Structure 1
Amino acid sequence: MLEITSPSIEAQLKLDFAEVYSRSSLYMKNQEMIKEMSFPAPGSMELAFSTKYALNFIDQCVACFWKQYWSYWRNPQYNAIRFFSAVIIGLLFGTIFWGKGKKTDKQQDLFDLMGAIYAAVFFLGFTNSTTVQPVMAIGRTVFYRERAAGMYSSMAYAFAQLSIEAIYIGVQSFVYSLLLFSMIDFGWKVDKFLWFFFIIFMCFLYLTLFGMMAVAVTPSHHISGIVSSFFIGLWNLFCGFIIPKTMIPRGWRWMFWANPVAWSIHGLMASQFGELENMVEIPGWWCTPGLLGTAGRRCVGYTVEVSPC
């Protein structure tokens, strides 16, 4: 039909199909039908629903969750990259810092371990935040259409996204934590491993959710990549590793306290080394475990006497 009514056919037949249709009986019949249906029948009521959505909030969350489940299951490229990166980066950092977890006799040993934790937290977390953005940008178009149709609310969709991401990130974090914890050798204690896994999991989760939020508040994932890179750069700068907290100018020190990555690094250091009481060698200072007083400073389980050698 479209081929017959094309402009080239009209030129060959020297006809204007729009004009022919406007003079036809079919056109007059359709116009009469439009006028008839433009006014409600006597005694009829306007179409109305008791609720905005056909399902309650719980059922919306369940439906959206299964929608996200199948969407993620049918996207092996995204999930394969996620787990492949976790294994490769875990093996990389594990071999670089092999057996460093029990070497805490020198200040440099603690710096090495802090660097390992900083790299472990930031490198894969930033990768998660970046790779999730194109996936969310594709799903956003479908979300707009289905929300406009009244299928579910924005909150139900957000809960479903959080739930499905938490499952995949949980598996990724467990594999990553198992590799790092065993190869760096922090000491096989259940509470230490659980704290390590929990903090790594929460760190990856909030960085991934930050990438999703960046897509939600920007027109495209290209712009969201720029926005998220800016904030992640700030978090990297003020996390306390590149610039120690005491060296940050007072006017900018609030950036350290408001930095989630800084709290993740602090939590990992405290959970793995906070209970240690052995002596540590710091160049230029005497360091004695358990020493208290006005001249003492506590640092990762150690009390450092501020007196030059």
Structure 2
Amino acid sequence: MRLYFTAISALIFGTLFWDIGSKRESTQELFVVMGALYSACMFLGVNNSSSVQPIVSIERTVFYREKAAGMYSPITYAAAQGLIEIPYIAVQTVVFGVITYFMINFERAPRKFFLYLVFMFLTFTYFTFYGIMAVGLSSSQHLAAVISSAFYSLWNLLSGFLIPKAYKLWFLLMQSLVNCFLIPGWWICFYYICPIPWTLRGIIMPQLGDVETKILGPGFEGTMKEYLAVSLGYEAEINGFSAVGLSVIVLLGFILLFFGSFAVSVKLLNFQKR
């Protein structure tokens, strides 16, 4: 059922954003392309997280019974619960990625296509493991769904898409570019510990970060690469490290964090009612 839903979703997104990837003449068209990338990741990611929760909740009840009988080790069960999802996510990534990439008409470059699939896979994986973790840390599926929904909203709000993290402002007196944060300082830390900004950075930079096409917009005239750096804070390097490579490492860290939290919850927490 998940694969059928993935294929249908891919066709919907492909037809909705048909040939958008080739339109790069204005800042407005740039935001439409970014919106296509952003919505594709969020939509299927949230669906993965939500759809896995009822299954994990039911299987946890069986696990409690088998654990009491000494049949299951908590760590073995947690590992199996996580690893069994990987093949499904891989197939899901290929189906969704191939259909959307060519229907949206992103640039036909092997490196860009490969990185598109890589970040789709990492995104679907951490969303799935987040859903599993939410059930592991909650007493019921319904509570897990409520908590998950709250974090989806926060992730969405502070992802750097609705409200850009920062833009660069030219100070004439200092003759330098400085970052001006649009997300308030007391929330900027949440931006960095939220996985979606790293997905956006990783999926946008390979597609658009090297594009030298001239674009026009309110108060801006330059290349798309310059606009991403100046107006949205998407630069090729972060403190000397590749932005794409660092995004991969951070997303892998989130995957391990969510999976590890589920494993610990299974071992230490017991919500069984007698």
TM-score by length of 2: 0.75
Q: CA shift at 1:226, angstroms?
A: 0.5
One of 245, 250, 262 as aligned partner of 2:185: 250
One of 206, 228, 234 as aligned partner of 1:271: 206
* Structure 1 letter corresponding to 2:114: L
Q: CA shift at 1:258, angstroms?
A: 1.0
1:273 & 1:165 partners in 2: Cα distance?
Answer: 31
* Structure 1 letter corresponding to 2:204: M
Cα deviations across residues 79-138 of structure 1 (Å, max 9, x unaligned)?
x1x112211211111111111112112111110011111110111111111111111111
One of 106, 109, 114 as aligned partner of 1:189: 109
Paired positions, count: 218
Question: Is this contact kept in 2: 1:276–1:301, CA < 8 A?
Answer: no
One of 216, 227, 230 as aligned partner of 1:297: 230
Larger radius of gyration: 1
Q: CA shift at 1:144, angstroms?
A: 1.1
Question: Is this contact kept in 1: 2:63–2:72, CA < 8 A?
Answer: no
Question: Is this contact kept in 1: 2:208–2:225, CA < 8 A?
Answer: no
Cα deviations across residues 23-57 of structure 1 (Å, max 9, x unaligned)?
xxxxxxxxxxxxxxxxxxxxxxxxxxxxxxxxxxx
Compared CA separation, residues 108 and 220, structure 1 to 2 (3 A): same
One of 78, 85, 93 as aligned partner of 2:13: 93
CA RMSD of aligned residues (A): 2.0
Note the residue ranges of structure 1 that are not aligned, 5 or more in a row.
1-79, 303-309
Indicate the SS of the match to 2:15: helix
Q: Which residue of 1 aligns with 2:240?
A: none
* Structure 2 letter corresponding to 1:210: Y
* Structure 1 letter corresponding to 2:202: G
Indicate the SS of the match to 1:198: helix
Question: Is this contact kept in 2: 1:87–1:175, CA < 8 A?
Answer: yes
Note the residue ranges of structure 2 that are not aligned, 5 or more in a row.
167-181, 237-274
Asked whether 1:221 is paired with 2:141, we answer: yes
Question: Is this contact kept in 2: 1:279–1:288, CA < 8 A?
Answer: yes
Q: Which residue of 1 aligns with 2:25?
A: 105
Q: CA shift at 1:282, angstroms?
A: 1.9
Q: Which residue of 2 aligns with 1:282?
A: 217
Indicate the SS of the match to 1:229: helix
Question: Is this contact kept in 1: 2:56–2:135, CA < 8 A?
Answer: yes
1:172-183 pair list within 5 angstroms:
172-183=92-103
Q: Which residue of 2 aligns with 1:8?
A: none
1:36-75 pair list within 5 angstroms:
none
1:237 & 1:203 partners in 2: Cα distance?
Answer: 17
Question: Is this contact kept in 2: 1:173–1:200, CA < 8 A?
Answer: yes
% of aligned pairs identical?
A: 41
Question: Is this contact kept in 2: 1:169–1:205, CA < 8 A?
Answer: yes
2:110 & 2:222 partners in 1: Cα distance?
Answer: 29
Q: Which residue of 2 aligns with 1:38?
A: none
Asked whether 1:156 is paired with 2:73, we answer: no
Larger relative contact order (Cα-Cα within 8 Å, sequence gap ≥ 6): 2
